[in-house]
Structure 1
Amino acid sequence: MTGLSLPIPSIVVALCAAVVMYFAGAGLWLSLSILLVWLATLWLARPEPTVETLARDDGSVSRQTMIELVEPFGLPVLMLDGQRIAAANAAAREELGTHLVGQDARVALRHPEAIRLLAKPEGRALVRGLTGARSIWQVSRVPIDERYSLIEMVNRTAEADISRAHTDFVANASHELRTPLASIIGYVETLADPDAKVDEPTAARFHATVLRESRRLQSLVEDLMSLSRIEAEKHEVPRDRIDLGQLVGSIGSEVAMTSGDERIEIDTTEAVVGGDRQQLDQLVRNLIDNAFKYGDQTAPVKVKLSTGAGEAHLTVTDKGEGIHPDHLPYLTRRFYRTDPGRSRTAGGTGLGLAIVKHIVERHRGKLDIASTLGVGTTVSVRIPLAAPIVATSASPAAGSLS
């Protein structure tokens, strides 16, 4: 049997003892019985096959056994023979390289925190930068016996990124809320001070500023609440059938009517998508609003909806100053502004495109922003068309009686 080591010296001693007993007059059957009992005790007392006993057999069998032990783990796992890597599962090979097995673990991991952990028989360490500049791994060493141990690695990078994003978001939101609030409080305190002696024109200007900042604060709170709702529902695929062409057309007409601005040009077609009407309405309004705010005040804003390749393709184009290519990858970040002063003057909250991005993601679509300095900006949204409704024919009437 593979992996089974027979105790040859003990068997030889048992045979010799049986032979001596036979010639000493113990009889054949008694000698054989004692021999069988002795061999049985040797069999029952055999050691259980452990990693260490397997490792003393043929080397290939040992490595294969170790691989079978660690391969099923979803997390990166290494099996160490002393400080040398005896086996590594697929997850570990993917993260640390395909030539791990046989290397010294201190050379393979190459990190001071990991090396300090390997100097101990067991323990746990948080290792930063193990597989990348921003990576964070929780590395644990668990002993199996005096010779062998397991190294388990848990990736904590995503958790740290989420925590950092939440911290940044809270800090940015606090700053954005504090700015208009401080302005409102300052002007109101001045107006309420009897010793300030504010004349009527100045008071009117102060009141206008308070009203503008209050509306900005209201818009910011509404956008924050919208973003929170959209993120809470991002895993729920919307199922309502919405004619996006009709929605875009009605919003464009409404914007032109309420603002008195005839610069909007709308070209739509029927495009039924599976969606959330309120969120799609917000998406279209945000894109048109951005085009009016940051585009040329004398040039038209073009809104076009077409279909093709099973998608509804919405584009909103303005003729403005354009956006530098360095800014394009970051436009959908919360509170990101290419020109903070101009954005605040125009009433922007810095959340419009972040909201658009999350709405597009919830609708399983794609968002693209293209811009050329001095020419303008085009925002494109592609959303899959809804499956057509299959009409079910009525059951055939029963045949007439003859």
Structure 2
Amino acid sequence: MDSKVIHDLIAALPVAVIAVDAGGRITAVNAAATTLLGDRLTDRPFVTALRHPTIVQAVDSVIDPAHVRPPVPDPSLSAVESGGYRNRLVISAQGRDIPAEVTVSGLPGRNGALVVIEDSSGLEQAEQLRRDFVANVSHELRTPLTAMMGFIETLRGPAREDPVAREKFLAIMESEAARMNRLVLDLLSLSRVESEERRRPAERVDLSMLVNSVVATLSMQARTGHVRFQQQGMEAPVFVRGDPDQLTQVFHNLVENAVKYGGAGGEVTLALRHIAHEPVLRGPAVAVSVIDKGEGIDEMHLPRLTERFYRVDSHRSRQQGGTGLGLAIVKHIVSRHRGKLRIESEKGKGSRFTVILPAGQDRR
């Protein structure tokens, strides 16, 4: 196999690939390898491009198997034919450590080695997210369960004949059970939204009527909290493509949050407006903003607000019955509708949550 064929084959591969000749010099690399390890890799000793003793030993053992023993491969990975080597390693490249699966094998038809590096950073991050998610769910469930078990023990013992204590503890247990139920429902909702995220809804939805319906549903809660609603731009029907149940959930979450956490200002405004051209969506759009005059949110928290279980004030959120999943659900629903969620807030000056949806009904 000549050098041009090898170069063309390497260039077509999506993972980082390096070809090394019998003298240990790099003869060809592809774009992925350049992105991973940097420029000017060809025609230099391999050991200077990737300073990892195990990989260097593997390359030397493939080039000169009679004099260099291969390093011990990872037994959990499939073996490489013709005396090759495969392992999961952490390599240092351009000032950062990268978890990777590295395969070293012989060049077909000539003396040399082929080094394939598959960046596992994404898999590591996904696994860490999974671990964090399980830990967060466990914590959110364990706290009310522990409290309920303590109350049950007390009701069976010292408070058995105390009606006042019994009613108090039962009320707390009911509240904690309701919070756990909300958490489970939100987890199921998040799972359902994520499973459908790649499939854009196609139903014709009147956004004005939908938002007005959400306001009517939450009007009693707003009056209880001494909050009044102001509505702008919702006099006429405005149609978008969407899932009415999911969009209702989006605006219910946003408006309820505005009443709960931003209600100190006494007013929540819902404003609908048309955008002739939204750059991010590359076309006309409809924007619905939920604006409060409450305490506002410190700028440092804004990038993380849509993370699962992230709370600006954990104690206050739990007191208000929050599960920490509401904005994560909103983000995924808006993403499914090919829209954008914009969050603006300043400490002491209130917050504005804006949902921007494509206006063109035939847009995909």
TM-score interval, normalised by the smaller of the two chains = 0.7 to 0.9
Residue of 87, 90, 98 corresponding to 1:125: 87
Q: Whose strand fraction is larger, Structure 1's or Structure 2's? A: 2
How has the CA–CA distance of structure 1 residues 182 and 341 changed in structure 2, closer, same or farther, with 3 Å as cutoff?
same
Maintained 8 Å contact 1:106/1:118 = no
Q: Does 1:161 align with 2:125?
A: yes
Per the alignment, residue 231 of structure 2 pairs with 266
TM-score when normalising by structure 1: 0.76
TM-score when normalising by structure 2: 0.84
3-state secondary structure, aligned to 1:387? coil
Maintained 8 Å contact 1:273/1:384 = yes
Using the TM superposition, give the Cα deviation of residue 342 of structure 1 relative to its aligned residue in structure 2, in angstroms: 0.9
Q: Partner amino acid for 1:311?
A: A
Using the TM superposition, give the Cα deviation of residue 134 of structure 1 relative to its aligned residue in structure 2, in angstroms: 5.8
Q: Does 1:68 align with 2:42?
A: no
Q: Partner amino acid for 1:176?
A: E
Give me the CA root mean square deviation: 2.1
Residue of 287, 294, 299 corresponding to 2:254: 287
Structure 1 distance, partners of 2:361, 2:159, is 67
Q: Whose helix fraction is larger, Structure 1's or Structure 2's? A: 1
Structure 1 distance, partners of 2:44, 2:155, is 76
Per the alignment, residue 228 of structure 1 pairs with 191
Maintained 8 Å contact 1:252/1:266 = no
Maintained 8 Å contact 1:113/1:125 = no
Q: Partner amino acid for 2:120?
A: R
Per the alignment, residue 348 of structure 1 pairs with 322
Per the alignment, residue 34 of structure 1 pairs with none
Structure 2 distance, partners of 1:349, 1:87, is 53
1:56-101 deviation per Cα after TM superposition (whole angstroms, max 9, x unaligned): xxxxxx5x45423422222221110132101112222232223110
Per the alignment, residue 3 of structure 1 pairs with none
How has the CA–CA distance of structure 1 residues 232 and 116 changed in structure 2, closer, same or farther, with 3 Å as cutoff?
same
Q: Give the gaps of 5 or more residues in structure 2.
A: 63-83, 277-283
1:28-60 deviation per Cα after TM superposition (whole angstroms, max 9, x unaligned): xxxxxxxxxxxxxxxxxxxxxx54xxxxxxxxx
Structure 1 distance, partners of 2:218, 2:309, is 25
Q: Does 1:307 align with 2:274?
A: yes
Identity %: 39
Using the TM superposition, give the Cα deviation of residue 116 of structure 1 relative to its aligned residue in structure 2, in angstroms: 4.4
Structure with max Cα Rg = 1
Q: Does 1:255 align with 2:257?
A: no
For residues 21-60 of structure 1, the aligned pairs below 5 Å read 50-51=1-2
Q: Does 1:370 align with 2:344?
A: yes
Q: Does 1:177 align with 2:141?
A: yes
Q: Would you identify which runs of 4 or more consecutive aligned residues in structure 1 move more than 6 Å?
A: none
Q: Partner amino acid for 1:286?
A: N
3-state secondary structure, aligned to 1:327? helix
Q: Does 1:98 align with 2:39?
A: yes
Structure 2 distance, partners of 1:322, 1:113, is 53
Maintained 8 Å contact 2:264/2:295 = no
Structure 1 distance, partners of 2:146, 2:299, is 34
Per the alignment, residue 80 of structure 1 pairs with 20
1:155-199 deviation per Cα after TM superposition (whole angstroms, max 9, x unaligned): 222122112111111111111011112222221221233x44553
Q: Does 1:276 align with 2:243?
A: yes
Q: Partner amino acid for 2:285?
A: E
How has the CA–CA distance of structure 1 residues 259 and 185 changed in structure 2, closer, same or farther, with 3 Å as cutoff?
farther
Per the alignment, residue 141 of structure 1 pairs with 104
Structure 2 distance, partners of 1:159, 1:93, is 21
Q: Give the gaps of 5 or more residues in structure 1.
A: 1-49, 52-61, 390-402
Maintained 8 Å contact 1:323/1:372 = yes
How has the CA–CA distance of structure 1 residues 356 and 346 changed in structure 2, closer, same or farther, with 3 Å as cutoff?
same
Q: Partner amino acid for 1:155?
A: D
Structure 2 distance, partners of 1:222, 1:299, is 30
Using the TM superposition, give the Cα deviation of residue 103 of structure 1 relative to its aligned residue in structure 2, in angstroms: 1.6
1:285-325 deviation per Cα after TM superposition (whole angstroms, max 9, x unaligned): 00011111111435211111111121110111112222111
Structure 2 distance, partners of 1:314, 1:356, is 13
Structure 2 distance, partners of 1:268, 1:224, is 34
Q: Partner amino acid for 2:269?
A: K
For residues 379-394 of structure 1, the aligned pairs below 5 Å read 379-387=353-361
Residue of 203, 207, 231 corresponding to 2:170: 207
Maintained 8 Å contact 1:248/1:268 = no
Per the alignment, residue 209 of structure 2 pairs with 246
How has the CA–CA distance of structure 1 residues 373 and 72 changed in structure 2, closer, same or farther, with 3 Å as cutoff?
same
Per the alignment, residue 31 of structure 1 pairs with none
Q: How many residues align?
A: 328
Q: Which stretch of structure 1 is more off in the superposition, 296-305 or 212-221? A: 296-305
How has the CA–CA distance of structure 1 residues 312 and 79 changed in structure 2, closer, same or farther, with 3 Å as cutoff?
same
Structure 2 distance, partners of 1:192, 1:208, is 16
Structure 1 distance, partners of 2:262, 2:91, is 43
3-state secondary structure, aligned to 2:247? helix
